[in-house]
Structure 1
Amino acid sequence: MKKLGLIGGTGPESTIIYYKKIVYGANKIVGKNFFPNINIESLNVFDVLKFCSEKNYDGLTHYIMNGIRNLEAAGCNIISLTGNTPHIVFDTLRTKSSVPLVSIIEATQKEAKKLGYKKVGLLGTRFTMEEDFFKKPFQEEKIEIFSPQGEDLDFVADKISHELEHGIIKEETKCGFLKVIENMIHTYDIEAIILGCTELPLIFDSMNLTIPCLDTLEIHANALISAMELGN
């Protein structure tokens, strides 16, 4: 298998999930005596969010590229970001990287298209929900994509930033997210909900939803394993 490099820390909880899913997923494919070669370059999610809030995308690109260069120097054959929000500069990073980058957004869009969805909801950080970088690939495939609005959007953004990024899980927050999704079903008639923040599986794991979830972390991890297999 090819050597994988992960830009982690965006945030730490999801980086741990990525590592375990990829390691044990590859092990299941290859055999019990195999674990893949992975390097993790851990960045600071709060620096990423600060660059985004200031719309300093050149600074964000430079910050992430420093991590990518370290992974390139470590001999990684494939590199990936472990957060959705940093994908706001993904296209620029792809042009600057000397090794292939695997996009979480492209992988999720392909999965939605394969499943035949025409209307999907999107939850994530404020930047993921408000900006166009996540939505554009879906719209290009004629898939309508909707984010919560007003107080619902504020609730999702606040809970991700102040709770989930710190690994804090509260029962009342779970109930709040469920209400947001039900509002989106009622308002937009969505067929599935995209967990567009890699910390969201922490809170949705035990929730009973009335529509399917597209877990971007799970989809991305599987895409990375497939890309690594091409090195056999």
Structure 2
Amino acid sequence: MEMNKLGLIGGTGPESTIVYYKGIEYGVQQKSGRSFFPNLAIESLSVFDILGFCERQDHAGLTAYLLKGISNLAAAGAQYGALTGITPHIVFDELAKASPVPLISMVDTARDFAVAHGYGKICLLGTLPTMEGVFFQNSFAKRGIDVVTPNAKEKNYIGTKIETELEFGKVLPDTQQKFKEIVERIIREEQVQAVVLGCTELPLIFDGVELSVPYIDVMQVHIDVLVDLIMRD
């Protein structure tokens, strides 16, 4: 079966890379209805290097760092590329222009999902660069969707817990409860229609947590789109 070859920038972080790999491989198998797994190329980079570039606001350095990885994927035969972390999307536009292969944006696929479901106002959770940046908000604003983020204290708490716990696969009950309290406050006060899990490690902390509004799991939405892309003629 002839399929498109996808290249992934992984390691941003390792937990999400594992989910992407399994989700894509078994997603294609299930959709094809055959005992078949597609070929993938994965270039594993360091999430901590990426966070360091963001903290220094060295966007040119971040773009060059990611572009080297994408070039390696293209050299391995990848026809399309995707990032397995949302934070590096802060330089996605610049990266896409310089990339040797087309890139599929996780932010834009999440936005299209929100549009399809009629959401006009959402709460965004993610790393500090994601919540404090504008790349996510700008993409959603193009389709008339308002993006609400936590307050400064809550952002720092969420960002710290992602970096020190979730990136290592740790899910602590106290952290899970605090995340839920933050989101419930925003739902109550801001009347958002959905909560965007805007970090690929956030599904870990919200697993089994019920809210009064739906989640948008940007990672799963992205995986579904990538499965379709791999199988496209």
Q: How many pairs align?
A: 231
1:78 corresponds to which of 77, 80, 88: 80
Q: Which runs of 5+ in 1 are unaligned?
A: none
The C-alpha deviation readout for 1:121-142, integer Å capped at 9, x for no partner, is 0000000000100110111111
* 1:107 equivalent in alignment to 2:109: yes
Aligned sequence identity (%): 46
Question: Which amino acid in 2 is paired with 1:83?
Answer: G
Residues of 2 paired with 1:94 and 1:141: CA distance? 21
Task: Indicate the residue corresponding to 2:8 in structure 1.
Answer: 6
Alpha-carbon offset, residue 33 of structure 1: 1.4
Alpha-carbon offset, residue 109 of structure 1: 0.3
Task: Indicate the residue corresponding to 1:32 in structure 2.
Answer: 34
Normalised by the length of structure 1, the TM-score is 0.98
Residues of 2 paired with 1:138 and 1:5: CA distance? 26
Alpha-carbon offset, residue 187 of structure 1: 2.1
Which contiguous aligned blocks of 4+ residues in structure 1 show a shift greater than 6 angstroms?
A: none
Question: Which amino acid in 2 is paired with 1:69?
Answer: S
Question: Which amino acid in 2 is paired with 1:196?
Answer: G
Alpha-carbon offset, residue 183 of structure 1: 1.1
User: Greater CA deviation, 123-132 or 221-230?
Assistant: 221-230
* Counterpart secondary structure, 1:116: coil
Residues of 1 paired with 2:26 and 2:105: CA distance? 21
* 1:64 equivalent in alignment to 2:73: no
Task: Indicate the residue corresponding to 1:172 in structure 2.
Answer: 174
Residues of 1 paired with 2:22 and 2:204: CA distance? 14
Alignment map for 1:63-212 (pairs within 5 Å): 63-212=65-214
Question: Which amino acid in 2 is paired with 1:208?
Answer: E
Alpha-carbon offset, residue 217 of structure 1: 0.4
* Counterpart secondary structure, 1:206: coil
Residues of 2 paired with 1:193 and 1:209: CA distance? 9
* Counterpart secondary structure, 2:57: coil
Q: CA RMSD in A?
A: 0.8
Question: Which amino acid in 1 is paired with 2:64?
Answer: H
* Counterpart secondary structure, 1:35: coil
* Counterpart secondary structure, 2:135: coil
Normalised by the length of structure 2, the TM-score is 0.97
Alpha-carbon offset, residue 30 of structure 1: 1.2
Question: Which amino acid in 2 is paired with 1:3?
Answer: K
Question: Which amino acid in 2 is paired with 1:171?
Answer: P
Alpha-carbon offset, residue 31 of structure 1: 2.6
* Counterpart secondary structure, 2:216: strand
Q: Which runs of 5+ in 2 are unaligned?
A: none
Residues of 2 paired with 1:72 and 1:193: CA distance? 34
The C-alpha deviation readout for 1:187-210, integer Å capped at 9, x for no partner, is 211010000000001111211111
Residues of 2 paired with 1:171 and 1:66: CA distance? 39
Residues of 2 paired with 1:127 and 1:98: CA distance? 26
Task: Indicate the residue corresponding to 1:229 in structure 2.
Answer: 231
The C-alpha deviation readout for 1:94-116, integer Å capped at 9, x for no partner, is 11112110000000000000000
